[in-house]
A and B are shown apart, each in its own frame.
Chain A
Amino acid sequence: MSSRMKFLIGGLVVVIVVVALIATSFSGSTSEYLTISEVRALGPDQTQNSRVAGKIVPDSVQWDTATIHLAFEIEDETGRLPISYNGPKPDMMADAVEAVAIGRYDPANQVFTADELLMKCPSKYEEKQ
């Protein structure tokens, strides 16, 4: 077999392995943005983290220093959703800012427990408008 063929085949094998690795990393656990009504429709047996975004409902933010617990509500066109989070209040959290919560919905108590919270500022580099 010529060197050229060997390189082509060898290179191809590497490419296939890399592509396969990437493909498996992408599949399954990417998290989709759900609307609030979609979150509310989730059953108790949801298998993966959900991601939901919405505007923070004015005056709904309740921070409790004693328990390091944050509770607030978000809303989109499809409804409102109470969010519960154990951890420090994110920077620049304020009324009407778009918040992204990643976590699980508890249908029994109708609360979304977030493992991670992100505040969606217009851009990391832009100031408030």
Chain B
Amino acid sequence: MILAEIGYGALLLALAAALWATIASILGAQQQRPELVTSARNALFVTAGLSTLAALALLALLLTKNFGVAYVHDHVSTYLRPAYVLAAFWAGMEGSQLLWLWMLAIFTALLVLRRPTWDRQLRPYAMAVLAFTQAFFALLLVAISNPFELLPMLPAEGVSLNPLLQNIWMIIHPPIIFAAYALWTIPFAYGLAALVTGKLDSGWLLGVRRWSLAAWSTLGIGILIGALWAYLELGWGGYWAWDPVENSSFIPWLVGTAFLHSAIIQERRDMFRAWSVGLVTLTFLLTVFATFVTRSGLIQSVHAFAQSAIGYYYLGFMGLILAVAIGLMLARTRELRGSGQLGDLVSREFAFLVTNLLFLGSAGAILLGTLWPTFTEAVRHVSATLTAENYNRFMGPLGLLLVLLLGLCPLIEWRRTSAERLLRNMWIQVAVGVVTAALLLLFGVREVWVVAAFAVVAFAAATIELQWAAGVVTRMRTAKENLFVAAIRASYRNRRRYGAQIIHVAILLIVAGVIGSQAYQDEVQVVLAKGEQTEVGGYTLVYKSYTYGQPEEHGNKVRNAALVELYRNGRLLAVMEPERNLHSNVDGTVTEVALLTTWKEDLYLVLAGLEPDGQAAFQVLITPMVLWLWIGGLELILGTLMAAWPAASRSATVTVPAGGESTGQQAGTSIRHRAARR
């Protein structure tokens, strides 16, 4: 138990150090006493060390299966495989909050490791915000959700981890999400620092650009991995259920996306200053809210919320942050006014404004939907829940409008664009969209929304590809390079721009995957005896053999499995083995699905039931284009790396070549104009 005491002690000291760092950095900045800021910096290294110590203590307790600690007892068992002990670390409230604190402390330490450059004035305030957030989580852990709490007795066996969480993606999904939340704290801290100091030009945005990108991308990947986990483990053939837990991570992602776009406008046109700082604050608050929502029981019921005081801690923290941010924004109204002039309504500025409104609108609607049961229960004493269809009805149109803007924005110029010029700029893209629609109709797609949705996606994809092609062609002409070299160099030289375009293509792939998989899903339920076969959607499934009621060695599982051979046109594609098992630590059965993935569609095989005599019930789901989502996710990582890759020759943090980028842009467009005029 000494480890539990060390862990708790480390958290107590971390709380003290974080509080000191908060006070010292503010005082140091206000009274111009650099030695205080240095002391705060050291304190932040101390919190990083202490939270690491606490995390290691918990990990050691979990690994040594020390059931005297309540958290260990509740999440592991003697027979739990070592890999899943990691998943147990963040399977509960206490562990997740420790993870949050730990990640935040590490990122903060990495940030302050570098001496201030552009952020000489902002740094102390940013440190204060980061330290205060650390103090909040340390306080939660120390005061109300202590992961090192001891049980009065020493049980011989633990409860073990929920088998649904025993999945490789569940080992990595929570840490990625919490890393993203912790990363978002950094741009937020600088936003608040910019408000305090009144230095609200685009300096802070450029300075934290890579942190923002990392936070945004990490959150996106985390959400996708969560979807992948739901798809592989939950056995219903879907990847997204508009469940409160899913929603709560998606909402900050949407607002964070609006922030990234807002930052571009501020950087280029010195507009939207209030938007940028407001959106980053909102994103941070929503990440805290997400942790709170998934852990407080607020969604299940207002009564569950009232049972624990933890909700009030979260509400207090969020309320304080919100009040400070709003107060500062009101005090800085003059500095929040940028020098940029608004243009015409047909201008890129306005298109970006609409983009922000759509992102914010979607986020607000999902937030409202997530809280709907709570509101209705509080107001009408009857809890009403939004169905997936409710969400799809607004998210479908809003999402497609955003995709349309994604394709339209690059064609609209800053300040103003004449309608004639816009039409001339986009006729090829429109043609691509129309041809796509025609082809879909030709191949028998009859649902209007599917045809329209794919046409919009094709339109947007065409814009991106044409822009890239124009950039490459320019380079081939001016630098006299061949296609291959020009393509590589043009992309490398304009990493930021093409990185963003790669991310946009990734989003289009994901959107296409969502449209395809939502539009068509074939479901067949069939009962077979051993040796029988069935035809589903062009596949032949042959039920070869089965395993009934086989207890697993050194485990808590009793295995029921069917072995199915999958053929198409007489060719063996896969041997699939769906399972429906019993676990001693949960009631009821747990399905393990079998899956065949191709770029065109997924065949998802669920063992619905198995009798002792081998009679088996199968559920077969054929869902198109699911793989596109995961490929989009990989491309998202690639695009982010490219966009964030440091410029070799210049100092990495400050100079993002705004000028160079806009020349590339104009070169691209002007080439097409010339081509069009010919």
Question: Chain A interface (Cβ within 8 Å of chain B)?
Answer: 3-4, 6-7, 10-11, 14-15, 18-19, 21-22, 24-26, 29-33, 49, 51, 63-68, 86-95, 97, 102, 119-120, 123-128
Apart from A29-B389, A65-B616, what 11 extra A-B contacts exist at CB < 8 Å? A7-B353, A10-B345, A33-B382, A33-B384, A65-B610, A88-B606, A91-B164, A92-B587, A123-B294, A124-B164, A128-B587
Q: A14-B357, A30-B372, A127-B162 are in contact. Are A49 and B387 (CB under 8 A)?
A: yes
CB–CB B527/A68 < 8 A:
yes
Counting chain B CB atoms within 10 Å of each CB, which of A25, A92, A95 scores highest?
Answer: A25
Closest to B170 in A: A125
CB–CB A7/B342 < 8 A:
yes
Query: Quick check: is B78 within 8 A (CB to CB) of the other chain?
Result: no
CB–CB B235/A18 < 8 A:
no
Could you count the A-B residue pairs with CB atoms below 8 Å apart for me: how many are there? 166
Q: Show 6 residue pairs from A and B whose CB-CB distance is below 8 angstroms, ordered by the A residue.
A: A7-B349, A19-B361, A21-B397, A30-B390, A89-B609, A126-B92
Query: Quick check: is B19 within 8 A (CB to CB) of the other chain?
Result: no
Closest to B415 in A: A3
A64–chain B nearest beta-carbon distance, Å: 8
CB–CB B615/A87 < 8 A:
no
Counting chain A CB atoms within 10 Å of each CB, which of B74, B389, B588 scores highest?
Answer: B588
CB–CB A65/B527 < 8 A:
yes
CB–CB B590/A91 < 8 A:
yes
B444–chain A nearest beta-carbon distance, Å: 27
B residues near A6, Cβ cutoff 8 Å: 342, 344-345
A residues near B160, Cβ cutoff 8 Å: 127
A41–chain B nearest beta-carbon distance, Å: 14
B residues near A128, Cβ cutoff 8 Å: 159, 162, 585-587
A residues near B162, Cβ cutoff 8 Å: 125-128
- 8 A Cβ contacts from B352-398 to A: 353-354, 357-358, 361, 364-365, 368-369, 372, 376, 382-387, 389-391, 393-394, 397-398
Chain B interface size, as a band, is: 35 or more
Q: A10-B345, A14-B354, A68-B527 are in contact. Are A88 and B386 (CB under 8 A)?
A: no
Give Cα A68 to B525, complex, Å: 8
A residues near B369, Cβ cutoff 8 Å: 26
CB–CB A125/B382 < 8 A:
no
CB–CB B385/A30 < 8 A:
yes
CB–CB A24/B393 < 8 A:
yes
Q: A18-B357, A25-B365, A66-B615 are in contact. Are A31 and B609 (CB under 8 A)?
A: no
Closest to B354 in A: A14
CB–CB A88/B608 < 8 A:
yes
CB–CB A25/B394 < 8 A:
yes
